[in-house]
Amino acid sequence: MVISRLRPGRAGRSHPLAAPAAADPAAGGPGRRRATSARSRHRTRRRIALVASLLALVGLFPAIARADNPIVQTIYTADPAPLVHNGRVYLYTGHDEDNSTWFTMKEWRVFSSDDMVNWTDHGSPLNIASFSWAKSDAWAGQAVYRNGKFYWYVPMTVRATGQMGIGVAVSDSPTGPFRDAIGRPLVSNGEIDPTVFIDDDGQAYLYWGNPRLWYVKLNADMTSYSGSPTQIPLTTAGFGTRTGDANRPTLFEEGPWVYKRNGLYYLVYAAKCCSEFIAYSTAPGPLGPWTYRGTVMPTQGSSFTNHPGIVDFKGGSYFFYHNGALPGGGGFTRSVAVEKFSYGADGSIPTISMSTAGAPQVGTLNPYVRQEAETIAWGSGVETEPSSAGGMNVGWIDNGDYIKVKGVAFGTGAASYTARVASAAGGGTIEVRLDSATGTVVGTCRVSGTGGWQTWTDTTCAVSGATGTHDLYLRFTGGSGSLFNLDHWRFTPTGGGTPTSPPPTTPPPTTPPPTTDACTASYRTTSTWSGGFQGEVTVTAGAAAINGWTVGWSLAAGQSVSQIWGGTLSTSGSAATVRNVSYNGSVPAAGSTTFGFLANGSPSTPSLTCTSP
């Protein structure tokens, strides 16, 4: 069938029908992103508008379960690879370009969550241009953690040969940036879809393949291997029986995912073609012998491929996959989704069906600490882009767009809402609503023009009636066109007293600091209330990039820090010391990053020191 000729990795093929070489997708500044994004925006808008109208219907009929699958609504995502690290799930995906008619994929993306429903967009820390030897086809990969580093194994077309090869990128942080670890393919035999498994004895294995299934033993450095790539025998006992394709007698197609649970080794994979379903086999060891165990997920969901990823997280087991569920979705415009499941007593994986409900929330979201605007359970109409303040921001906000944040624990009540916003236009309004996009308004924040899409300021509004736990809807209203951007937000609890407007503050430096300093730090108070305040510190690198920073100051009498984000705090007497966290230690020359904190006491402007190793 036609699709079969288009599928990757058939014996003897080297992707003659692959998409044209990727345009350079390297992230420029937010301005550049906005310019390039504009072209695709109208296309994206058409499908998102459909989502919005469907959800509006759901809002009118609250008895209908609200959809949280697929996980990402701002772009098409594919080939999920989850990784659990330090209490969060990091989800590594591919990115299907809008309107694709082939696996047109130029970059990989990272999202993360600590509750399985609200997902933070970390943008694209790795793309085809990260590999000087690669031409195109940012297909299915997997990231693993070892010895303080994150290794991301990804397949691409090798420019010199036109064959698929597998590269390895490395980073100190799960969200990157990642760089090519070895400057060449780790392996290249025309086959795809790497998965890496590290056994209890420390031996790491790289598996990959379509149409065959390969493995090689990785060395402890995770960027080289011992021995030669070796085929895993594809027997019908191990991988089931396929009929109608003499060249492929077993069900194994592609997308292997290997892990171990209770001493049993699992190999989960896309089976048969096309359309694929998800099957699994088990073995007593990492190299087999494998026994076919049946279906994990039947053929479903408007995409002729599927792709598995399985993790355990906070006591539950989760199956990630992709389908064509977003408007405009299909075999080349896919979306990643997740279901929770339980293993059988014998270690079997049940048959799992795709759902629109997705996994249940684990815990609740704390609205009284900084939350990134790009932490989203469901977004309608909005997109994301790199923020000049670090990380991502939500942009392309039009009248009627909204963001849903699920399971927000207001407790005894919120007194105010503060959002970090920017607008090169006239701004608009943030309606703070509960439980649906048309639910009770508990606050209304006005956003004014700030003179630039990346010129950030805070807006604060009073909140009343937000108690207990609710889904939070930030609904955006205003005139026509883009209204404003949103970087992060938080609520202030009623317990601290009546919030006041933020006092006049000293803006962060707009010019680079003296070249002799490794870094400088500036402070501003972002809100106050009776008995407490919130502060923000901007760390700015000098003439050279820095890798790690430490900010120190003396707490004034009566001050104590109760919460911090974007840094780790240690105190000794009145001395407060904040060090970077993994994602914001690297600051380019003259670039800046921020951390924030909540404190008891009265605000004062501290004298800050900033050092970098």
Name the residues that contact ligand FUB, by CB under 6 A: 78-79, 94, 103, 139-140, 192-193, 254-255, 305, 307
Q: What is the DSSP letter of 604?
A: -
Report residue 596 as tokens. Answer: 């924030």
Residue closer to ligand FUB by CB (options 257, 553) is 257
**Minimal distance in Å, beta carbon 96 to ligand FUB?**
7
**Straight-line distance from the first to the last Cα atom of the chain, in angstroms, rounded to the nearest whole number:** 60
**Minimal distance in Å, beta carbon 508 to ligand FUB?**
41
DSSP 269-309: EEESSSS-EEEEEEESSTT---EEEEEEE-S-SS-S----E
Angle made by CA atoms 347, 219, 262, in degrees to the nearest 5: 15
Do the Cβ atoms of 47 and 326 come closer than 8 Å?
Answer: yes
Asked whether the bond before 70 is cis by omega within 30 degrees of 0, the reply is: yes
**Minimal distance in Å, beta carbon 192 to ligand FUB?**
5
**Minimal distance in Å, beta carbon 430 to ligand FUB?**
36
Residue closer to ligand FUB by CB (options 171, 195) is 195
Residue closer to ligand FUB by CB (options 323, 423) is 323
Distance, in Å, from the CA atom of 66 to the CA atom of 58, rounded to the nearest integer, reads 7
Residue closer to ligand FUB by CB (options 255, 391) is 255
Report residue 416 as tokens. Answer: 């105010």
What Å distances lie between residue 344 and 338, 349, 362, 506, CA to CA?
19, 6, 22, 59
Do the Cβ atoms of 282 and 290 come closer than 8 Å?
Answer: yes
Catalytic residue among 79, 254, 458, 471: 79
Q: Residue 151's beta-bridge partner residues?
A: 144, 170
Residue closer to ligand FUB by CB (options 329, 606) is 329
Residue closer to ligand FUB by CB (options 264, 274) is 274
CA 65 centroid distance within chain: 24
DSSP 410-436: -TT-EEEEEEEEEESS--EEEEEEESS
Cβ count near 346 (within 10 Å): 7
**Minimal distance in Å, beta carbon 308 to ligand FUB?**
9
- What does residue 30 show for φ and ψ, rounded to 5 degrees? -55, -35
- The position carrying tokens 């008895």 is 63
Q: Which strands make up the sheet holding 195-198, listed edge to edge? A: 195-198, 204-208, 214-218, 225-231
DSSP 45-85: HHHHHHHHHHHHHHHH-TTSPPP--SS--SSEEEEEEEEEE
Catalytic (active site) residue 79: yes
Residue closer to ligand FUB by CB (options 98, 536) is 98
Catalytic residue among 115, 191, 253, 374: 253
Cβ count near 241 (within 10 Å): 11
**Minimal distance in Å, beta carbon 79 to ligand FUB?**
5
**Minimal distance in Å, beta carbon 307 to ligand FUB?**
4
**Minimal distance in Å, beta carbon 251 to ligand FUB?**
15
**Minimal distance in Å, beta carbon 138 to ligand FUB?**
8
Residue closer to ligand FUB by CB (options 255, 502) is 255
Q: Collapse the DSSP code of 110 into the 3-class scheme (helix H, G, I; strand E, B; otherwise coil) and give the result.
A: strand
Report residue 474 as tokens. Answer: 């930030």
Cβ count near 132 (within 10 Å): 9
CA 440 centroid distance within chain: 30
* Sign of CA pseudo-dihedral 48, 50, 55, 56: positive
Residue closer to ligand FUB by CB (options 188, 423) is 188
**Minimal distance in Å, beta carbon 76 to ligand FUB?**
11
What Å distances lie between residue 518 and 29, 550, 577, 593, CA to CA?
23, 11, 17, 14
Residue closer to ligand FUB by CB (options 2, 345) is 2
**Hey, which residues are catalytic here?**
79, 253
